[in-house]
Amino acid sequence: MITATAPGKVILFGEHAVVYGRPALAAPVTQLRARAVVEMGDGPEVRLVAPDLGRATTLAAARADNALAATARLMEQRAGRPLPPGLSLSVSSAIPIASGLGSGAAIAVAVIRALGDCFQLELSREEVSALAYEIERLHHGTPSGIDNTVIAFEQPVYFVRQQPANRIETFRPARPLRLVIADTGVRSATKVVVGDVRRRWEAERDRFEAIFDACGRLAEAGRAALAAGDLAAVGRLMDENHAQLVEMTVSSADLDHLAGAARAAGALGAKLSGAGRGGNLIALVDESGEAAVCDGLMAAGAARLFRSDVG
């Protein structure tokens, strides 16, 4: 039996603008993980199982848009040979789906690692990330690559989408970040939101370019504040990034309500994280204020909370 896991992620600064070449910062959420298990059994088929979703199929029968099957086929191509009959690939995940926490990329990375072991491939984290990017393209259309990168690297990253190669710099904040992650309970498909931002950018190019520039400047300032250990500045910049995401129309009444509640309860800053229009909010807290922020978020209607430390 081979088991591999991969973490969820949050975007600290710069979602959406990162698709348009602006810098962004992301961090893994190591407590929330996707898991892939490969087992050998009998039978003529390669089986794909997702017990959490109540789904099971075979590789031969899987539809073209089945991401698990696409990942298995990608790994067969990479290895240059088919998966053996009787193999069973099972995936499960503690990361809420369609919630901005990188569940699709985390499942892809876990499966790539497990099947990489199965084929006895030596895969670098860069290669795991590049393979997961191919699957991200199925989920999202035009992904920036930040999700697969932060999840495959399992470290905070400064990321710029660019040619010929993305700029990827891992970092550690000078002082650890204490994050409360609040789920609106509303699912939102990244592909839809990213596509909608693209349509708006096409219709109002100058305005959206200016918003993306502002997000890029906030990501750079956030990076400097993290390097300086200035958590109050990090929080303020998160608030400003949320305001830019509101301008982009990717926030929602629920997200704005939770952001307001987190700030009122003493959070240093709060912003939506990921594609938006639902999914999760992140609030930066200090140790003494954490319980009050958690209470405030639950009272404001958060469906559930997660905790994550960065650095």
Write out the catalytic residue numbers. Answer: 147
Minimum distance of ligand MEV from residue 7's CB (angstroms): 13
Given strand 280-285, what is the order of strands in its sheet?
A: 269-273, 280-285, 177-183, 304-310
Minimum distance of ligand MEV from residue 291's CB (angstroms): 28
Residue 58's DSSP bridge partners are 47
Q: What does the alpha-carbon distance between residue 234 and residue 92 come to, in Å, rounded to a whole number?
A: 34
# chain residues binding ligand MEV, by CB under 6 A: 15
143 binds ligand MEV (CB under 6 A): yes
Minimum distance of ligand MEV from residue 190's CB (angstroms): 5
Residues 31-90 that bind ligand MEV (CB under 6 A): none
Provide the residue type at 172 as one letter.
R
Q: Which tokens go with 84?
A: 């053996």
Minimum distance of ligand MEV from residue 181's CB (angstroms): 13
Residue 34's DSSP bridge partners are 6, 93
Q: Concatenated DSSP letters for 77-144?
A: HHHTSPPPTTEEEEEEESSPTTSSS-HHHHHHHHHHHHHHHHTT----HHHHHHHHHHHHHHHHSS--
144 binds ligand MEV (CB under 6 A): yes
Residues 3-32 that bind ligand MEV (CB under 6 A): 11, 15-16, 18-19
190 binds ligand MEV (CB under 6 A): yes
In angstroms, the Cα distances linking 194 to 100, 200, 289 are 12, 10, 34
User: Nearer Cβ to ligand MEV, position 263 or 277?
Assistant: 277
Provide the residue type at 112 as one letter.
I
Residues 243-282 that bind ligand MEV (CB under 6 A): 274-275
User: Nearer Cβ to ligand MEV, position 18 or 25?
Assistant: 18
Which x/- pattern, by CB under 6 A, does the window 193-222 give for ligand MEV? Answer: -x----------------------------
223 binds ligand MEV (CB under 6 A): no
HSE of 205, CA atoms in CB hemisphere, 13 A: 1
Which residues of this chain interact with ligand MEV, rule CB under 6 A? 11, 15-16, 18-19, 100, 140, 143-144, 146-147, 190, 194, 274-275
